[in-house]
Structure 1
Amino acid sequence: MKRLFDKLFLLFWLPIVAQAQDKSTLAQAAIDALNSALVSDAQVAELSRQAVVEMDAKNPVAGPSDPYTIRLNRIVSRHRTVSGLPINYKVYKVADANAFATADGSVRVFKGLMDIMTDNELLAIMGHEIGHVINHDTRDAMKSALRRSAVRNAAASTSGAVGKLSRSQLAGVADYLLGASFSRRQETEADDYSYGFLKRNGYNVLALATSFEKLAKMNGGGQGGKVATIVSTHPDSKTRAQRVRNRARQDGLAR
């Protein structure tokens, strides 16, 4: 397998080397491509940790005595470790309805989400985001981002229209759009993880459905900047809510 990868690597990069004008950019592209294949879970966790440190510095983080922090700590008091992964939780005092989890076990919940969700609904959403980490979706997304970075750097090192386009703001927008969402299969598996998390811990599994229904209502409510960021990068919330309700009925947990 390694020999095959090496051959494909050379076949892809050698033609670009011949055209390259910016050798340093090309070198970085080659490094990114290689790293995307070799990056380990531990490396992804460390890169995630560094990214979260930077994000924490750029966002207003609720302090230890803030009511939002106190509420979040109460909600997650039983869940400082999930599926063997130590979790650290913080609140961003940002109006958007959003939350995310990273491979190092960092979970960040936005004030806007806490304002509209019950305690159990917040647990359901955090369970979904943690599910992406447990299922290695975050690692796979980072590998994909490294591959895109490699292609972008390679294109930027060539002359002509392709190079110019790669250096434009469009490249950054495209990179964001490609990196902001998981596949429908991954989303479904993360939903299933959250459902199982709620069920195992004795919570009402319908909290996952009602959280999706609230996000769907927000998305259709024309609330401008407060429209849930989660909705913009995930499959249809109403469909996901109905799937949860159907499963709950099959499990005898709902009528």
Structure 2
Amino acid sequence: MKRIGSLFLLVVGLSTGATAQIRINPNLLQGGIDALQAYTLSDAQVATLSRQAVQQMDAKNPIAGPNDPYTLRLNRIVSRHRTVSGLPINYKVYKIPDVNAFATADGSVRVFKGLMDIMSDEELLAIMGHEIGHVINRDSRDAMKSSLKRSAIRNVGASSSGVIGQLSRSQLASAADYLVGAKFSRDQETEADDYSYDFLKRNGYNVMALASSFEKLAKLSGGNGGGKLTTFMSSHPDSKTRAERIRARARRDGLVR
């Protein structure tokens, strides 16, 4: 509360200062507002901002159409899972060769063509379960708030640069920051793995699909994946270690020998 109060004073101070002789840069004011909002946004507001960010991403990237084989396959895979843990999910495929997937706080899941090309149906479910786990665990919500804090810093830092200032104020830059730049801690990644494991187990799938998906990622990160895996792997712990952890848990649960 003390920090929120100081941010509130910053915004009020900048606003009232406009009546004095000092000229206030609007980027500084917007930076203070963005920083305040990062602390006061409700979950519903974060979901709305996330939806807007995904719409920005959808407009930038090639999306598989309703009759595209990739869409038909994804729809078949997720037919039982249009709602997960009470959250409505909307799925789409980006026809991009990168090995990647992400989920956002509004329940949007985007799977890249490159990931679908190398994973089985259950492995895809395992990875999507992991990404949805970040949403259910509120990691994605917190990432959006972090993005707003960084937006505030950009607005203040860009006050003397017209080009950078325009980018920092654009919705597109905010969307890219959130969707591409979101990083999760190792504990958050482990908890998302556990969510995916429980999701697979609860719905009667083979939990080892989660381990095998990590093993495929581990092979790609060993040098065969090129740049296609860079973004996905940069924010995730070692895939081989994660696979071993899942196998050990499955043995403890008596699901494998």
TM-score grouping bracket, smaller chain normalisation: 0.7 to 0.9
1:201 aligns with 2:193: no
Q: 1:9 & 1:246 partners in 2: Cα distance?
A: 50
1:5 aligns with 2:8: no
What's the C-alpha RMSD, in Å, of the aligned pairs? 2.8
Deviation at 1:151, TM superposition (A): 2.2
After superposition, give the CA deviation of every residue in 1:81-131 in whole Å (9 maximum; x if it has no partner): 000011111111110011111111111111100000000000000000000
Q: Find the counterpart in structure 2 of residue 219 from structure 1.
A: 221
Q: Find the counterpart in structure 1 of residue 119 from structure 2.
A: 117
1:50 aligns with 2:49: no
Matches within 5 A, 1:40-119: 40-119=42-121
State the TM-score, normalized to the length of structure 1: 0.85
Contact residue 102 and residue 110 of structure 2 kept, 8 A: yes
Deviation at 1:4, TM superposition (A): 5.7
Deviation at 1:229, TM superposition (A): 3.1
Q: 1:236 & 1:33 partners in 2: Cα distance?
A: 33
Contact residue 129 and residue 190 of structure 1 kept, 8 A: yes
- CA distance change for structure 1 residues 13 and 246 in 2, over 3 Å: closer, same or farther? farther
Matches within 5 A, 1:172-183: 179-183=181-185
1:46 partner amino acid: T
1:35 aligns with 2:37: yes
Deviation at 1:239, TM superposition (A): 1.0
Matches within 5 A, 1:235-250: 235-250=237-252
Identity across the alignment (%): 72
State the TM-score, normalized to the length of structure 2: 0.85
Q: 1:199 & 1:37 partners in 2: Cα distance?
A: 36
1:5 partner amino acid: I
Contact residue 218 and residue 228 of structure 1 kept, 8 A: no
Q: 1:226 & 1:179 partners in 2: Cα distance?
A: 16
Deviation at 1:176, TM superposition (A): 7.6
User: Which structure 1 segments of 5+ residues have no match?
Assistant: none
Deviation at 1:201, TM superposition (A): 0.4
Contact residue 11 and residue 32 of structure 2 kept, 8 A: no
Deviation at 1:57, TM superposition (A): 1.5
Contact residue 13 and residue 30 of structure 1 kept, 8 A: no
2:103 partner amino acid: A
Deviation at 1:10, TM superposition (A): 4.0
Deviation at 1:9, TM superposition (A): 5.4
- CA distance change for structure 1 residues 112 and 178 in 2, over 3 Å: closer, same or farther? closer
User: Which structure 2 segments of 5+ residues have no match?
Assistant: 168-172
Q: Secondary structure, in 3 states, of the residue corresponding to 2:223?
A: coil
Q: Secondary structure, in 3 states, of the residue corresponding to 1:89?
A: strand
